[in-house]
Each structure stands twice: as structure tokens, then as C-alpha cells.
Structure 1
């Protein structure tokens, strides 16, 4: 039965691929934006493709119409309905993009505070800028990692049209809504429901944070080689025990 809406399924699977490109490039501005725009173009085509796929089946048309009306009133599709040629340009990311810097102990956040991560710079570049500021600002350095924690940077991508939602979350929600429309249509045509569970998805917390090397931070900011310090302390303890 899935072959009856093969074009719609093909677009949906393509959207899925673009989602993972957004995940893997989340900390790189241009690749992330390119993947987002590819997702938008693909998702924007799906309602028209799905309507075309079911045009010969009146019952399926009713199901599709109901889902697409709901879809067009939410999130990304609400924006697309108002702005048909909507594409995310670099400047659109400026004011709504946010960043934080801080430290983690294992998976636990120890401290975090706002730090500007510019929309035209990678997270690695922002982190390098943070380290340079730590060299000049002892208070900022004091908020950084100690011997039990590692430095970390968080970032989110937002636009003025959707100010309260991270763009990756918006895209995943759109994919799920499209999948619900497809799944209901397939069941109306006598097929089995689609699996919308997305076990391959990474959690937002994993995607939005980038954890850096504690050893490299101490070496580049403080001029301290933690490995060498550890060996020195062990040797000193050994001498004291003699």
C-alpha cells in the first residue's frame, strides 16, 4: 500500500536525511543553515505531493485534508503559509541565536552563563574566543573549569518568526506532523502505520552542547600541563612515603 503514496514517502525520507545533517552540523553555521534550507524546501513540497498522490481516492483525500489543515496551523508550516518563498538567510539568525559557556562534570552541568556565540562563527571559534578572554580576565577564568570539570559551550539557533523554539526542534516537529499525515493516509488505504518513534534521533541536550578538553584548556589558558602535574604529584607523594 505504501507504493500508492510513494512520492510523499520519498520526500518524507529525504526530510529525515536533512534532519540528521542539521544535527551533525549544528555547531557549524553555514552547513547547518544549508541543511535547514534543504529540509524546508523538501518539507514545503510534501503537502502538494501528498495531495497529488491521493487525488484518485476520495476517502484518502479527506484524511489528507484534515491533517494538512492542522499542519499548516503549526510551527514551521504556519510561517511557510504566510511567506511562501521563506528561506533562512544568514542575517535572519543574528538576533535570535544564543550561546552559553560553562563547565560539566561527566554529564552533569556544574555552571553555565551567557556568552555570545555569533551566528557567523562556529562553536569552536567561539570557544577559542572564550579562552582568549579567560587569559585576560581572572574573574571569567575563575568561572571556568577546575581539576574536576571540563569546559563546555551551548548554542541554540532561532529566528524572529519562531522566537521561542530551537530550529532543530521545529524541524523535528514538522517531520513528525508530516509523518502523521502520511501514516493516517496509509492506514486509510489499507496499509500499516508508519514508525514515527525516531530511535536514531539524538537528544537536544547532546546536540546543543559541545564539551572540550580539560587538559587543552589548562595548557592553553594557564600554561599548566595537567598530565605532567599529575606525574609530579605522584612522584612527590612517593618520595614522602620513603
Structure 2
């Protein structure tokens, strides 16, 4: 670790933690409670970074005055990060995190949606339970499954989107963008301290968000004959 990194070691560790929570959000995208907990942890870890930077460098010559407008730009002027702060304050002082959920059942080939039906999924409901409801419903209304026509080529899928209140972009994309914005903020600090800026853009470990939003059910026929 370089001497520059050492000066803000705790904040960079929290930065690594936020990266890890982003992948937890991806992994648990269709598990409602685990997703909410991962979102909460990501928001907390990202929100704490400016405070940790300010504390670590409060006695560094010239830093507090230089940092004040940089931090303001992040926390007050950047819409997405200001939403992160608002949600963190709400979670800490008022209530639990309840993101918005919307979903539809679809027949897909790869990433191409061939047919879809809007389908209500409660924000506290796991996707597996939701697809079970849909398949049970299709037993009394076979035209639903016939219209979707899933087969060996086209898979039945539940396509889900989560949003935080006040922001229209889906959470994987919006949280990745907020993570990149903090990357930019930390890069400015690194340069101020005499170090190198961080690489721009997402690391290669981040995949197409549709890998996580589209949950396929190749065993729908077995499920169809199992549910009563």
C-alpha cells in the first residue's frame, strides 16, 4: 500500500466493502429480504466514505478548505448521491428500506423478450414464490402459458425491476453509477494527496444487469404439474 493510500486506508476499505455489497445486490436480486439488506448495507457503506475522508485528513494542511466544495458537489449537487443520503437518513432515523418493485412474466430467448405479461409482485415477495403464483394461475387460464409458448428454445422468465423512491433508474444501474461517482470523488482526493487517480469505468467483474434481472425457469412444465 502506498503512503497516499495509507492516509485514507479506512475509507478505501469501506470503498471495497461497497463494491462487495454491489455484487450482493446482484446475487440476491430475486430474494426480497436479502436484496433489501444488501441495498441497506451498500447505502450505508457508500454514505460513510466522505465522513471517513474528512476525519482522516482533518489535520492535513490545506485539505479541509479544499475538500469542502468537493464534498458539497458530491453530497448536495449530485442528485443520485443526495438520494443515497436521504435514504440512509430515513433508514437510520425513521423506518426500514422498502424499495419499489415491478415485474412481468415473459418468454425470452437469450436477452430477447418474445412475449410478456405484467404481473404484480409485492416488494416483500421472493421471485420464486411469485412465479409459483403465476403458474398456479395459468392452470385455470391455460391461454396465459400458451401465449408465452416457452419451450426448449424460449425460456419462461420472471423479469423484475427494483427502484428506490425518487429515482427512476433501476437499482443495479443507479447504484453502479453512484459507485462510479464516488470513484471520481476518491480520485480527486488521491490526486490532491500526490497520488494517481483511480481507473475510470466499472471493473470487468460487473456483468450485464440483465443477467440478474431476468430469472429463467426451464422447469416450468414440472412446476405446472406439481402445483395444485
TM-score tier (shorter):
0.7 to 0.9
Q: Give how far 1:14 is off.
A: 0.9
Q: Give the whole-Å Cα distance in 2 for the aligned partners of 1:156 and 1:130.
A: 17
Q: How does 1:201-220 map to 2 (within 5 A)?
A: 201-213=206-218, 216-220=219-223
2:196 to 192, 197, 214: 192
Q: Give the whole-Å Cα distance in 2 for the aligned partners of 1:106 and 1:166.
A: 20
Measured against aligned partners, the alpha-carbon deviations of 1:145-164 in whole angstroms (never above 9, x if no partner) come to 343311011111123332x1
Q: How does 1:31-70 map to 2 (within 5 A)?
A: 31-61=34-64, 64-70=67-73
Q: Give the whole-Å Cα distance in 2 for the aligned partners of 1:104 and 1:81.
A: 37
User: CA 1:81–1:22 in structure 2 vs 1: closer, same or farther (change >3 Å)?
Assistant: closer
Give the aligned partner of residue 170 of structure 1: 174
1:5 aligns with 2:8: yes
1:20 aligns with 2:23: yes
**How many residues matched?**
217
Give the aligned partner of residue 105 of structure 1: 109
Q: Give the whole-Å Cα distance in 2 for the aligned partners of 1:106 and 1:77.
A: 33
Q: Give how far 1:125 is off.
A: 0.9
2:96 to 70, 89, 98: 89
1:160 aligns with 2:165: yes
Q: Give how far 1:180 is off.
A: 1.0
User: CA 1:67–1:221 in structure 2 vs 1: closer, same or farther (change >3 Å)?
Assistant: same
SS in 1 for 2:207: coil
Relative to the length of structure 2, the TM-score reads 0.85
CA contact (8 A) 1:98 1:157 kept: yes
SS in 1 for 2:59: coil
User: CA 1:75–1:26 in structure 2 vs 1: closer, same or farther (change >3 Å)?
Assistant: farther
Q: Give the whole-Å Cα distance in 2 for the aligned partners of 1:44 and 1:5.
A: 15
Give the aligned partner of residue 229 of structure 1: none
SS in 2 for 1:200: coil
Measured against aligned partners, the alpha-carbon deviations of 1:128-176 in whole angstroms (never above 9, x if no partner) come to 11111111112212222343311011111123332x1222323222211
User: CA 1:80–1:158 in structure 2 vs 1: closer, same or farther (change >3 Å)?
Assistant: closer
1:71 aligns with 2:80: no
Structure 1 portions without partners, runs of 5+: 224-242
Higher Rg of the two aligned structures: 1
Q: Give how far 1:64 is off.
A: 3.4
RMSD between aligned residues:
2.3
